[in-house]
Amino acid sequence: MLRSPLRIRLSKSFTPMLDFDVQTPWFARSGYRVICATMLAATLSTGSANSEEWSTLKGRIVFPGDIPAQAPLVITRDEEVCGGIGLLDETLIVNKQNRGLQNVVVWLSSKSDVPVHPSLKDMSKPVRLDNKDCRFVPRIVPIRTEQVLQCTSTDPISHNVAVYARRNQPFSIIVPKGEPLERTFRREELLPIRVDCSIHAWMRAYLVVTEHPYAAVTDANGRFTIKHVPQGEWQFRFWHEMPGYLDTLNDGTQTVELARGKWELDLDTAEHDLGELTVDEKQFSMDQ
C-alpha cells in the first residue's frame, strides 16, 4: 500500500516531472516513470511542423544547342473553329530568351507514406483541365489521389476526354456543355498518364497522379518549385513527354546519372536549390 500519494507536476515546457515521497515503493516509481516517458514522447510526436522540418526544392532546367521551332499543327477537324487559331506543336517548348525547358515533370517517388505539411492537406479544391481553343489547358496537370478532376470546355464545339490510366480505370467521355465532367483516381500512377481528345487527334495532355502534393511542372522559364517537402533523403523523378525519363542532368560542375529518371536528394535545409540543370540534347532528337 502506498503510504503517501504520488504527485505529478508539469513544467511550463510540458516535461513531466515526478515528486515522490521517500516511502513510495520502488515498483510504483518505475511504473510511473514509464507512464511519464510515454507522455513526453506523445507530446513531442504531436508537435507542429516548423521551418527546420520542411524544405523547398527548386531549380531550373535548360535546353542546350539549337532551339527547336514549334511546328504548326495540321488541323483535320472543325477547321472553321480550330483552323484560324494558329495552333503549334507543344511536344517540345524551349524559351528562346533563356533556354528554359517547359513541361518537365518533377515529383517525389516513394514506396512508403510521405508526411504531408499541414498547409497542403486540404484537397477540397478541384483540379481543372479545360478544352480551350482546341487544345488542353494546362498541358500537364498534377493531381492527388481522391482529388476531384474537373474536365471542362469553353469551346463552341464538342470535345472528348480520353484518359489512358494504367492503375486506375481508363475512360473516354464527351465533355458535357455547361457543366464539368468530374472524376477521381483511387491509386497513384507510376508515370504521367496520357490524355487525348478522340475527336481532335492533335490534342494532348498528361495527368500526374500522386498520393502526396510533392510534384511540379517546369514553367515557361524552365523553373520548378516544390514547397514544404519533409526534410530527409528522398528520390525525385524527372520526366518529359518526348524522351520519357531524363537520363542525365548537368549542374555545371558534374553530370548526374539518373536511373529511370531518379535522383536521390538529401533535403536537410529550409531551401534546397539545384541551380541550373542542363538536359542531354540527344534525348530530344527526333531520331530517338
Of the candidates 17, 209, 259, 230, the residue with the CA atom closest to the CA atom of residue 117: 230
Residue 32, CA distances (Å) to 3, 36, 146 in order:
16, 6, 44
Give pLDDT, residue 123.
96
Residue 171, CA distances (Å) to 131, 174, 195 in order:
16, 10, 10
Give the domain extent around 122.
Answer: 54-284
* Contact indicator for 215, 107 with CB cutoff of 8 Å: yes
Are 170 and 217 found together in one domain? yes
Are 94 and 237 found together in one domain? yes
Q: Is residue 256 in some structural domain?
A: yes
Are 279 and 200 found together in one domain? yes
Are 27 and 170 found together in one domain? no
Are 32 and 153 found together in one domain? no
Give pLDDT, residue 177.
85
Are 37 and 62 found together in one domain? no
Q: Is residue 2 in some structural domain?
A: no
Give residue-wise pLDDT tens across range 44-93.
333 333 445 999 999 999 999 899 999 999 999 999 999 999 999 999 99
Whole-angstrom Cα distance, residue 153 to residue 38? 56
Element (H, E) at 150: strand 149-153
Give pLDDT, residue 65.
87
Number of structural domains the chain divides into: 2
Give pLDDT, residue 2.
39
Are 164 and 24 found together in one domain? no
Whole-angstrom Cα distance, residue 243 to residue 51? 36
CATH of the domain at 69: 2.60.40.420
Q: Is residue 13 in some structural domain?
A: yes
- Whole-prediction pTM: 0.81
Are 35 and 116 found together in one domain? no
pLDDT mean by block of 10 residues, the chain; 288 residues: 39 42 49 46 38 87 95 96 97 98 98 96 97 98 98 96 98 92 97 97 98 98 98 98 98 97 97 98 82
